[in-house]
Amino acid sequence: MIQNKNLLTLQMKNIILYSLLYFLFTGTMVAQQTPAPKQTIDYSIEGATAHIGNGTIIENSLIMFSNGKISFVGSANSRIARIGTIINAKGKHVYPGFIAANTTLGLAEIDAVRATRDYDEVGSMLPHIRSVIAYNTESRIVESMRPNGILLAQITPRGGTISGTSSVVQLDAWNWEDAIVKVDDAIHINWPRNFSRGRWWLGEDSGLKPNKDYAKNCKKINEFFKNAKNYLAKTQKNVNLPYEALKDVFNGNKKVFVHADGQNRITDAINLFDNLGIKNLVIVGGHEAENIASTLKSHNIPVVLKRAHRLPSGEDEDYDRPYRSAKILSDAGILVGLGMNGAMERMNTRNLPFYAGTYAAHGLGTEKAVQLITENNAKILGIDNIMGTLEVGKDATLFISNGDALDMRGNILTEAFIQGRKISLETHQTKLWKRYSKKYNN
C-alpha cells in the first residue's frame, strides 16, 4: 500500500514537471518577438512617394534618418550625399507611423476571459487611475497592429464617469516604461446620457425615454471638479489622490477627453467646463458635432471621431452622414482625429487606416484622411512636436508600403521603423498565414 502511494506520488511529480516544461516551451514558441534595438545604422529611403502627413506629398522622395531622428526630407533629385543603408523604394509609398487614438490596446486580450480584461476599475470618479500601468507590451493583439502601419496608440481606460488617465505609447517595447511616448496625456470623462432605455427584465418599457437623472449626473461632475479646485487651492494635510490627479487639468498641462454624442450633450459639456475655466477640451465620439461646428471652432475644441462604419442614428438623417462627418467638420475648420472605441475595438484597431480610407472616399480626400491618423491625432494627443509627420528633427517613426496604405489591397508593408529602430513585421497571424499558404499551394 505504501509502495503504491509512493509510486503515485512520483507519477504526479513527473506529470507536474512535464507540464511545466511543456508550458515553458510553448510559451517561448508563442511569445512576442524581441523589440528592435536602438538605431545604430543610418538609413536613406529613396524613390518613394512620401505622404508627409500634413496634407502634402513628395513624388520621388528622399528621406534620411540617423540616431532615431529624421535628418532630411526632400526630392531624390537633390544633390546630397546619401547616408547609411540605401533602401530603393521606387514605386512604393512612405508614411509617418499611423496613430490610434482612444483605444484599449494592451489592456485586454480575450474578452470572454475576465482575468485578461484590465481596462475598467471599480468606482465612478477615477482621474487618478493610470491605464499605462496595466498596458501589456506582450499582447498578441498589439503586435498585429504593426503590419498595417499602426505604430503608436493612446491607451485609454473605460468605465465609470471619469474612467482615468490615458498615455501614448509606441508599439514595440519591452515593457510599459519603455513604450511611453507621452505619459498621462489626458483624463477621460463619459458624459451622462440624456436618454435611457427601460430595463425590460424589470418589466419596464424598453424604448428610449428622457433620462430623469441627467441633470443630477451632470451636477455631480461639476461638483467634483469644483471640490478638486478648492482642494488644490489650499495646502492639505491629507492627500486626496483623485483631486491631485486634476492638478494638471486646471493648469492646462493635461487635456480632458469628453466622450459624448449628440449636440445637446456636447454643448452641455462645453458650457460646464468653460464655466470651470478648463479650456483644454477634446470631444470623443462626436456624433452630431457637425451641428455645432461654430461652437467647437470658437472654443478651439478638436473632435476624435469614431469609425465611419456605422448606421445613421436618426430616421431623418442621411444614410451616408456618418461617412461624411469628417469632411463636414474639416471644412468647418475643426481639427479632426480618428479613434477606435466600439465593438471589438482592440481587434478592429488594426483596421484604422481602412476606416480613414472610408472617410477619404466620402469627400475628405486621401491626404486629409492620412492626416486624420497622423498629424491630426498627434496634435490632439500633444505629441506633434516629435511624431505625426515626416519632418526634419522628428522621430523616425515611419513605414514603407507597396501601395496606398488606406486601401487594404495596397497596405502591404515592406519595412517599418519606430524611432529609427527597424522593427519586425512578423506576428502570430503572419506566421499562420504563411503556414497555411504552403498547405494550399501544394
Percent of the chain past pLDDT 70, that is, above it, reads: 92
Alpha carbon distance 371, 99 (integer Å): 10
Q: Which domains does the chain have, with CATH numbers?
A: 33-95+389-442 (2.30.40.10), 98-387 (3.20.20.140)
Residue 16: the pLDDT is 55
pLDDT above 60 (res 31) = no
Q: Is the pLDDT of residue 205 over 80?
A: no
Q: What is the pLDDT of residues 145-200, one digit of tens each?
A: 999 999 999 999 999 999 999 999 999 999 999 999 999 999 999 999 988 777 77
Quote the mean pLDDT of the chain: 89
Within its chain, how far is the Cα of 330 from the centroid?
20
**CA–CA separation, 167 and 184 (whole Å):** 5
Read off φ and ψ for residue 303, nearest 5 degrees: -130, 130
Contact in structure between 352 and 148 (CB atoms under 8 Å) = yes
Q: What number of other Cβ atoms are within 10 A of residue 187's Cβ?
A: 24
pLDDT digits (tens, 9 = 90+) for 349-359: 999 999 999 99
Q: Whole-structure pTM over 0.95, yes or no?
A: no
Buried b (16+ CB within 10 A) or exposed e, 257-292: bbbbbbbebbbbbbebbeebebebbbbbbbbbbbeb
What angle do helix axes 263-276 and 214-232 make, rounded to 10 degrees?
A: 20
